[in-house]
């Protein structure tokens, strides 16, 4: 089956993290960019260019995840040392990429992803960073809803599953009483 990337994170760095499906359920975990073909599909959907080894991208993904997850869980900043090292290298190789003097583009896909992670931590309202509340999902997203009440990565997927589970439990409880 052809992989169709879901870009629901609200930021390319979060969409990178979300290339691991069912992260919190080891029996169901799937790496959606484990092959060069899958990585190319995701890269194109995310609007990025440049080829890279899926293994190098997965390493960056793990470093960014370790830095970002504690923020999403409200336990403070994660381990930023490895990300800081990657950022220093990416900035050294970066070139101006936009109309603003400090918009930098990466020299390759890995650098572009590292710079995106830096922009996430620098420019976004991290109080809006959330982890999907589905028990096994683990996807991260920026809650851009007006009242900040988004609970799931996808209302039609994880949200629907949660609503169906609550309905089933109510019906079952009604039968037992």
CATH class of 12-176: mainly alpha
Phi and psi based region of residue 113 (left: phi greater than 0; alpha: psi -120 to 50; beta: remaining):
alpha
**DSSP secondary structure, 123-168, as one string:** HS-GGGEEE--STTT--EEE--STTS---SS-IIIIIHHHHHHHHH
Residues near 20 by beta carbon (within 8 Å), at least 6 away in sequence: 29, 30, 31, 32, 61, 138
Ranges of the chain with pLDDT below 70: 1-3, 101-102, 156, 159-162, 164-168
Q: Which contiguous run of DSSP H or E holds residue 176?
A: helix 160-176
The 10s digit of each residue's pLDDT in 10-25 is: 999 999 999 999 999 9
Look at residue 154 in the predicted model and tell me its pLDDT: 83
Look at residue 171 in the predicted model and tell me its pLDDT: 72
Closest of 28, 65, 58, 45 to residue 139, by C-alpha: 65
CA distance 44 to 68: 24
Domain extent listing, the chain: 12-176
DSSP annotation of 177 reads: -
Closest of 109, 108, 107, 150 to residue 128, by C-alpha: 150
Look at residue 159 in the predicted model and tell me its pLDDT: 65
State the first-to-last Cα distance of the chain, in angstroms, to the nearest integer: 45
Half-sphere exposure of 48 (CA within 13 A, CB side): 28
Look at residue 156 in the predicted model and tell me its pLDDT: 67
């Amino acid at each position: 089956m052809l992989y169709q990337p879901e870009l629901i994170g609200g930021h390319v760095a979060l969409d990178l993290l979300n290339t691991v499906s069912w992260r919190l359920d080891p029996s169901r975990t799937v790496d959606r960019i484990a092959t060069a073909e899958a990585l190319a599909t995701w890269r194109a959907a995310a609007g990025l260019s440049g080829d890279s080894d899926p293994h190098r991208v997965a390493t960056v993904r793990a470093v960014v995840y370790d830095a970002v997850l504690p923020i999403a869980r409200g336990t403070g900043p994660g381990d930023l040392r490895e990300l800081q090292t990657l950022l220093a290298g990416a900035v050294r190789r970066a070139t101006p990429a936009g109309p603003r003097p400090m918009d930098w583009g990466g020299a390759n896909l890995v650098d572009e992803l590292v710079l995106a992670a830096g922009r996430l931590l620098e420019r976004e309202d991290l109080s809006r960073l959330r982890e999907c509340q589905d028990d096994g999902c683990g996807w991260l997203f920026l809650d851009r809803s007006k009242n900040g009440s988004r609970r799931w990565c996808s209302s039609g997927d994880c949200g629907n599953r949660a609503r169906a589970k609550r309905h089933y439990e109510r019906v079952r409880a009604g039968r037992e009483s």
